Structure 1
Amino acid sequence: MYGQEVDKRERLIESTRELLWERGYVGTSPKAIQERSGAGQGSMYHHFQGKSELALAAIGRSADDLRAKAEAEFSGPGSVVERITVYLRRERTVLKGCPVGRLAQDPDVMADAELRRPVEEYFGWLTGRLAELLEEGRAAGELDQALDPLTTATALVAVLQGGYILARAADSPDVFAKAVDGALGLLTTKEN
């Protein structure tokens, strides 16, 4: 019985993650969650007080998963630029957009302080972690000393999120790849 309850809870969270990514908060109805997860209304309200609490769990899970993937790449082998390149060029579902970044464009998520919190925390962490890497690269002489780690990290995050938007608008992942290539070109241009 316990295993089935945990499985239902996980299915509810995973289904909500998918629906939020596809449809946004308003388009993610409790009925759609129940249909996608195969869990009944009783199960949903047994595990969560309502849609908002379930959405918070789903958003937090999406942010945690993205953070774990990024940290694995940032902590991997190679120079700072190589590790950032691995992160930026990782395989992504570009035309669906970023599962967390899309929520930053959702007025219902942004209007709710609790739902907004994991989105803000994720982007704060990502920007800060990139800034740490860039500082490491600058200190090692790999990057130009004039590079400002925090502003450059912010620009890299903006390139990724903007790349998703441009790719979706053009219906082409090639646009995203060009944005990444452009950012890497700027990052690797070092004054001698």
Structure 2
Amino acid sequence: METRQQGLLDPEPVTEVDEEMVSDVDLNNTMTDEEREGILSELTKLEEEISTLRQVLASKEKHHSELKAKLGITPLSEFKQNFNKSWYDMQTSTAYKKTSETLSTAGQKTSAAFTTLGTAISRKFGDMRNSPSFKSFEEKVECTVSNIKQTKVGSQGGGGSFEEVLSSAAHASAQETPSNNMPESSDHERTC
């Protein structure tokens, strides 16, 4: 017989199986009555052991709950304890610490930004108040209030109530024209 090295593509020779070997294999897998009885006996023992273990487990669980009741441990307290432990574990985790630090930094930056914004707004209002336009407006308002007070004092002999002064100011401003036709009655009115 010639020995030849086979490659990957070369077909492998088919070998014939001995007929005697095929007849030795029991395809029905039949067992004897003794083997069957042994297996049934083992199965029965396992079922009994499982039943016994379930009874023991039930007894242990009952004893466990009785001990907890004596200690005052309720399901709610267990839940709280588990929650607290989980919360502590989460707080000590690296991810939580990094997130907390990031949020803290963001909060500080936001606070600084609002402080800067508030300072800028205050500065702008201060600049606006010191502007010539605002000063002129402020002087006109002061003059109008002074004129109204003088008009009330001159016509009624008394100052009148605040509401009367306001209604008279509204009435007077409604009658005025933009050309500033105010009657000249005193030196103070002329300077306004």
Same fold (TM over 0.5): no
The TM-score with structure 1 as length reference comes to: 0.22
What's the TM-score, normalizing by structure 2?
0.22
- Pick the structure with greater CA Rg: 2
